[in-house]
Amino acid sequence: MPLKLEPIQLAFLVCSFFIVDFSDAYLAPIAARLPLKGTPSPPGTPWPEPMSANFSISIATIGNRDSITFTSNLNNCSILNSAFNRYSPDLIFRDLPVESASGYPVFAGIEIILPSGIENQCGEYPRLALEEERDTYEKYELRVEQDSDSTVTAKIQAWTVWGALRGLETFSQLIWQNGTSNNFFINISQIVDSPRYPHRGFMIDTARHYVDIPVIETILEAMSYTKLNVLHWHIVDDQSFPFVSKTFPELSAKGAYLPELTYEPEEVQDIINYARDRGIRVILEFDTPGHTHVYRKSFPQLLTPCYGDGVNPGTPSPDKHAAYEILDPTKEFTYSFMKQLFTEIKNVTKDEFIHLGMDEVYYSCWQSSPEITAFMEQNNYTEYSQVQEHYTLRHLDMVKSLGAKPLIWHDPLEFGVNLDKDIVLQVWKKNGSDWAPYLQHALDEGYQVILSSPWYLNYIAYGETWREYYESDPVLSLPNITEDQEKLILGGEACVWAEYADPTNLVQRVFPYIGAIAERLWSPISTLDKNRTDDAMHRLDQHRCRLLWRGIPAQPIFNGYCFPQEKSIRRSSKK
């Protein structure tokens, strides 16, 4: 039981947990200081008394609200400075008074130690760690230790600024309050921690419902508290085109729900920078050749005219296809238009990856079209999948020629399209609840993958749905996976398709449940197996309280409550 730590062990602890949790021992992070509810552990017992003398060495008292100093050997690094500002007394203590407890060493501050020569990272954006960097890219070592002058300091050793950010988050989770004396303490402890997977993401859909920018920022905040590092922004779709293109302003002028419900490129870049400050990548998705009905409002010639009546172009066929569907792969205009659009997108995004969609290309419209038939004859194509492949490969090559790396949904593979092996596939399909064969298929074909199938948070259901999310392990679920294939798994992404989600319910729908997925993707497989879900419940519950403490309206995972301040927190973050 990795969580049942005895206090004496804390001084020598080397561990790796997604969310640091000492509450099963005698110590707990602040948000979890109260007896916790219907959760299996701890068993609702009152908060323990102050430490007895023989344990006094293992904790340090926080002196006052402003006593935590933040320093780094990397001067003037905006990423670190911004983080130091975020982990403010208000975030950690809210409006609680902080007084030092007598008889304990006083905590002085936190020091970030980074290798020399990485100053340039402070001006860069986080990226997918290269295979050879994976052990260090987000790794940190956190030592809370007593110095010779008897003060206690926390030292975060990291190899990148992004690792330092993860260490800061863990540091903030180590501070706890004694429920009797109300003093704040931090554990003398050592933690060595790094993520299992380099890609731990969340997908938002701003086409079915517009998501206000402050809500996207709240999501990014909460993602950073949950050690997630990719926002996959499915920004446009059939329903609306809220991205304001400077090249083709008609796209949003005619395709956005309303002029007010759009994202200017500068706003997109502001969000990218907001994410960067938190060590989060933003991957923009512009889905083609399907999910493109919205283009028809401004550039009707982009879509394939269907022959629903068998005679006339632009006629629908009930239950089969609309009047126009799927980008027209026969026209050079399609390719030149997309090249111009993606040239602009490449300049807006800062991530090396662009998500190109490629999902749900159905053939019934193409099957009705004499133009497509002629195109197939001209190219010696006998299958519609070759038409799909024709578009797919040209589009992928074009985007690569712009210097971007393509990420796509795994549909083309399932439709038999031949793809280059440098294309990263996002696996989303399931057969009932069975998703493992799709993942195994992509791995068998040698692709790098990101798993999403078990993590569609829009499929809400009654009960502890996070358990199934938690128990979906990309490796443990594949009985025949090879060691080489394991290396092809880059991580996973939770997704919320927004038919029924918008700013009124999005944040609470995702948090804290996504924490179960974040832990699955962060913690080493050695500490996780499918039988430890009950242990995770307690951590997830603590994390929900921590999020609430920080003003995120994370919904409950079971009966109970968090802390005396929850009423006032909810009031101040509501009105």
Running DSSP on this structure, what letter comes out for residue 336? H
The answer to whether residue 548 forms part of the interface with a copy of itself (CB under 8 A) is yes
The one among 121, 229, 252, 458 contacting a copy of itself by CB under 8 A = 458
Which of the residues are catalytic? Answer: 360
The answer to whether residue 97 forms part of the interface with a copy of itself (CB under 8 A) is no
Please return the burial class of 571, using the count of CB atoms within 10 Å of its CB with bins 0-12, 13-18 and 19+. exposed
The one among 34, 356, 490, 521 contacting a copy of itself by CB under 8 A = 34
Q: How far is the CB of 575 from a copy of itself (least distance, A)?
A: 7
> CB–CB of 405/353 below 8 Å?
yes
The answer to whether residue 130 forms part of the interface with a copy of itself (CB under 8 A) is no
Angle value at C-alpha 21, between 114 and 276, nearest 5 degrees = 40
Residue type, 16: S
Interstrand relation of 405-409 and 175-177 (parallel, antiparallel or unpaired) = unpaired
CA distance 466 to 454: 10
Give the count of residues interacting with a copy of itself (CB under 8 A): 51
Three-state DSSP string of 28-78: CCHHHCCCCCCCCCCCCCCCCCCCCHHHHHHEEEECCCCCCEEEECCCCCH
Measured over the CA atoms of residue 307, residue 312, residue 314 and residue 317, the dihedral's sign is negative
Structure tokens at 260: 């007010």
Which 232-251 residues touch a copy of itself, going by CB under 8 A? 239-240
Question: Which part of the chain contacts a copy of itself (CB under 8 A), choosing from 82-90, 113-121, 343-351, 562-570?
Answer: 562-570
The one among 54, 102, 480, 559 contacting a copy of itself by CB under 8 A = 559
Question: Which part of the chain contacts a copy of itself (CB under 8 A), choosing from 126-134, 264-272, 408-416, 457-465?
Answer: 457-465
The answer to whether residue 46 forms part of the interface with a copy of itself (CB under 8 A) is no
E-state strands within 298-343? 303-305, 324-327
DSSP 439-458: HHHHHHTT--EEE-GGGBTT
The answer to whether residue 509 forms part of the interface with a copy of itself (CB under 8 A) is yes
CA distance 329 to 483: 39
Structure tokens at 532: 């430890």
Give the 3-state secondary structure of residue 153: strand
Q: How far is the CB of 462 from a copy of itself (least distance, A)?
A: 5
The answer to whether residue 567 forms part of the interface with a copy of itself (CB under 8 A) is yes
The answer to whether residue 444 forms part of the interface with a copy of itself (CB under 8 A) is no
The answer to whether residue 95 forms part of the interface with a copy of itself (CB under 8 A) is no
Which 255-294 residues touch a copy of itself, going by CB under 8 A? 257-261
Which 468-507 residues touch a copy of itself, going by CB under 8 A? 498-505
The one among 214, 310, 318, 479 contacting a copy of itself by CB under 8 A = 214
Residue type, 46: P
- Binding positions for a copy of itself, rule: CB under 8 A: 34, 38, 208-210, 212, 214-215, 239-240, 257-261, 458-463, 498-505, 508-509, 548, 553-561, 563-567, 570-571, 573-575
